[in-house]
């Protein structure tokens, strides 16, 4: 292989590495964000579980107030009943007492139902807390790992860029360097490629002429693919 082609190939390897590192530097923070979003979902689930429990508690409190009010009424009616001298009023007050006692009974049944529901809602809070704690642990670990990877890649990128500067100075032919840069962008990072024994350019996958193939093999001059212009080596 010609020395200049060898140098360009080394440069291309470095450029591909820089490209891969730069895309990873974009991707890692996105992965960190995605991990945080998983945490947000579990945090929200816990908030919902707490809020459901709270709503139920308020309903229980309101029922207790309603029950208390009715019990006061019952006491008042019973006092009136005790004080009255009239038979029909006594009976009427007694019926009222029965009606309120029935209401208290219904409300107390409902209260029991809500208290059972409270047990269920309480265990949902504890499930959500456990989920959140577990996710928090995993997410913390994942974010820390990603951060370490990000820091490593940043150092690696800086080192690779320094290495590239050295490689560039080794290529004496400015025009060849320009051609390389143009081809690298145009051929999606495949500017310097092997031509196979079947004369196939591995950048565009089209067969080159026997003359081009012979030139690539002899190395007397730089050989370019007849179709895509990529720099060829055998």
Stretch that binds Zn ion, among 6-14, 37-45, 50-58, 222-230 (CB under 5 A): 222-230
| Residues 35, 146 contacting (CB under 8 angstroms) | yes
Q: Determine if 201 is a binding residue for Zn ion (CB under 5 A).
A: yes
Nearest approach in angstroms of CB 128 to Zn ion is 59
Question: Binding to Zn ion (CB under 5 A): which residues in 78-107?
Answer: none
Nearer to Zn ion, 11 or 201 (CB): 201
| Residues 224, 231 contacting (CB under 8 angstroms) | yes
Nearer to Zn ion, 191 or 201 (CB): 201
Nearer to Zn ion, 98 or 206 (CB): 206
Q: Determine if 230 is a binding residue for Zn ion (CB under 5 A).
A: yes
- φ, ψ of residue 188 in degrees (nearest 5): 50, 60
Q: Determine if 32 is a binding residue for Zn ion (CB under 5 A).
A: no
Q: Determine if 225 is a binding residue for Zn ion (CB under 5 A).
A: yes
Q: Determine if 196 is a binding residue for Zn ion (CB under 5 A).
A: no
Q: Determine if 46 is a binding residue for Zn ion (CB under 5 A).
A: no
DSSP state of 195: B
Work out the angle between the directed axes of helices 3-83 and 174-186 (0-180°, nearest 10).
40
For residues 6, 9, 14, 16, the Cα torsion angle rounded to the nearest 10 degrees is -170
Stretch that binds Zn ion, among 7-15, 95-103, 166-174, 194-202 (CB under 5 A): 194-202
Q: Determine if 195 is a binding residue for Zn ion (CB under 5 A).
A: no
Report the sign of the C-alpha dihedral through residues 161, 166, 171, 175, in that order.
positive
Which of 120-154 are b and which e, b meaning 16 or more Cβ less than 10 Å from the residue's Cβ?
Answer: ebeebbeebeebbeebeeebeebbeebeeebeebe
Q: Determine if 207 is a binding residue for Zn ion (CB under 5 A).
A: no
* Residues engaged in binding Zn ion (CB under 5 A): 201, 203-204, 225, 227-228, 230
């Amino acid at each position: 292989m010609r020395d200049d082609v060898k140098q360009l190939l080394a440069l291309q390897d470095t450029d591909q590495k820089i490209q891969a590192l730069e895309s990873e530097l974009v991707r890692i923070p996105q992965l960190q964000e995605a991990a945080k979003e998983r945490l947000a979902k579990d945090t929200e689930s816990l908030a919902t579980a707490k809020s459901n429990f709270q709503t139920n508690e308020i309903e229980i409190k309101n029922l207790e107030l309603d029950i208390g009010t009715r019990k006061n009424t019952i006491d008042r009616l019973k006092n009136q009943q005790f004080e009255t001298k009239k038979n029909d009023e006594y009976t009427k007050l007694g019926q009222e007492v029965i009606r309120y006692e029935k209401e208290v009974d219904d409300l107390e049944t409902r209260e029991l139902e809500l208290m059972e529901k409270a047990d269920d809602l309480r265990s949902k809070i504890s499930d959500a807390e456990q989920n959140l704690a577990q996710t928090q642990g995993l997410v913390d670990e994942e974010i820390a790992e990603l951060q370490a990877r990000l820091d490593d890649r940043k150092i690696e990128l800086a080192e690779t860029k320094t290495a590239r500067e050295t490689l560039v100075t080794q290529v004496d032919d400015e025009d060849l360097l320009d051609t390389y840069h143009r081809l690298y962008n145009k051929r999606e990072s495949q500017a310097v490629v092997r031509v196979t024994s079947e004369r196939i350019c591995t950048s565009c996958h089209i067969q080159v002429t026997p003359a081009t193939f012979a030139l690539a093999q002899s190395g007397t001059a730089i050989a370019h693919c007849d179709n895509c212009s990529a720099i060829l080596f055998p």
